[in-house]
Amino acid sequence: MDRLDTLRLFTRIVELGSFIKAAVALDVPRATATKSIKELEDRLGARLLERTTRQVKPTLDGQAFYERCTRILADLEDAESSLSTAKADPHGTLRLDLHGTHAVRIILPRIPEFRRRYPRIELKVSSGDRLVDLVREGVDCVVRAGRPRDSSLVMRRLASMPEIVCASPAYLKEFGTPQHPDELTAHQAVGFFSSQQDIQYPFTFLQDGNIVEYKVGGWISVNDAECYTTAALQGCGLVQVPRFRIEDHLQAGRLVQVLADWPCPDLPLSVMYPYHRQLSPRVKAFVEWVAALYLERFGPAS
């Protein structure tokens, strides 16, 4: 491997914490990867990686070298992308992680359009609702709902999605229909929690221009958007959810909106990517395409 390929290999090993995963991601034999890193360490006269039975971690020297390498590779990609041919015809592998509902209902149904526009970009798509460590997992960009807590990422708002509170007719028949958010203390809610952090999300309403939170009790919590909707359909409790996601259930009467006189704040949806990926023509192409897709569906994001 030449020096630049070795640097790319080294940075991916650090990000993925694995020789095998990095070798697979870059399509090089494991033996070649091991040999190249050993030659790199010998050339530098420093140990860059600590290997254990579970993972590979950078040494102090390795972490410093990794940070320099990411800047060098970003500068190289910037230089390449500055050429008109690279901008006009982006190519290579783009790793995406998409919120499950948005992947299935909005993005993937239109993905053939992206393919026709950028036929030389190969997509690797993972999906779910968990928080993703973009750098460690080697992901180029993610699409996520909610208010991001990681200020180290570049963020572009895609949409502001109206939310409502609703429940199944069976639940409302048993527990009654709340008329004011203060009555929620007497009700049951389907909880939604993060699998990566100990966070329980309350119901939120706009009152006098302020967001007011209400914690509602319940006996079931989930960490997946589809499970959240299914639990509501089964009468497990009230849910607060983007309207577009359950519009069919509302029209069919399987779910009923409550507290309609108490507006909920819109749920923001964003595409995010690490700073060192922002110059990639592949990332730029996807961000512009997906932004246009959500503008068409939801209108301008507030």
- Find the CATH number of the domain harbouring 214: 3.40.190.10
CA 56 – CA 17 distance, rounded (Å): 5
- The verdict on 115 and 244 lying in the same domain is no
Give yes or no for a contact between 241 and 163, defined as CB atoms under 8 angstroms apart: yes
8-65 pLDDT, tens digit each: 999 989 988 899 988 988 889 999 999 999 999 999 999 999 988 778 999 999 999 9
Predicted structure pTM score: 0.71
- The verdict on 54 and 24 lying in the same domain is yes
pLDDT of residue 237: 97
- The verdict on 69 and 102 lying in the same domain is no
Domain's final residue, options 81, 106, 130: 81
| Domain enclosing residue 240, as ranges | 163-265
Q: How confident is the model at residue 244 (pLDDT cuts 50, 70, 90)?
A: very high
- The verdict on 238 and 259 lying in the same domain is yes
CA 76 – CA 119 distance, rounded (Å): 23
83-123 pLDDT, tens digit each: 655 566 788 888 899 988 899 999 999 999 999 999 999 89
- The verdict on 107 and 194 lying in the same domain is no
Q: What does the buried/exposed string (b/e) look like for 103-141 if buried means 16 or more CB atoms within 10 Å of the residue's CB?
A: beebbeeeeeebeeebeebebeeebebebeebbeebbbb
- The verdict on 63 and 198 lying in the same domain is no
Of 287, 249, 285, 248, nearest in space to 270 by CA: 287
Q: What is the mean pLDDT of residues 128-146?
A: 75
The length of the chain, given as a count of residues: 302
CA 253 – CA 157 distance, rounded (Å): 32
Token pair listed for 210: 């302020």
- DSSP 8-class letter at 202: P
By DSSP bridging, strand 56-58 and strand 153-161 are unpaired
- The verdict on 151 and 188 lying in the same domain is no
Domain's final residue, options 27, 61, 81: 81
Q: How confident is the model at residue 70 (pLDDT cuts 50, 70, 90)?
A: confident
Q: Which residue has the higher pLDDT, 74 or 158?
A: 158
- The verdict on 96 and 120 lying in the same domain is yes
- 151: burial class by Cβ within 10 Å (0-12, 13-18, 19+)? exposed
pLDDT of residue 181: 96
The CATH number covering residue 68 comes to 1.10.10.10
pLDDT of residue 16: 87
250-288 pLDDT, tens digit each: 999 999 999 999 999 999 999 998 876 656 788 999 999
Residue 195 has pLDDT above 80, yes or no: no
Task: Provide the percentage of residues in the chain whose pLDDT is more than 90.
Answer: 59
Q: Which residue has the higher pLDDT, 61 or 136?
A: 61
- The verdict on 50 and 197 lying in the same domain is no
Of 139, 4, 149, nearest in space to 70 by CA: 4
- Report which secondary-structure segment, H or E, holds 117: helix 111-117
pLDDT of residue 136: 63
Count of domains for the chain: 3
Tokens 């499950």 correspond to 100
pLDDT of residue 112: 97
Tokens 């246009």 correspond to 292
Q: Which residue has the higher pLDDT, 61 or 72?
A: 61
pLDDT of residue 242: 94
Q: What is the mean pLDDT of residues 222-228?
A: 88
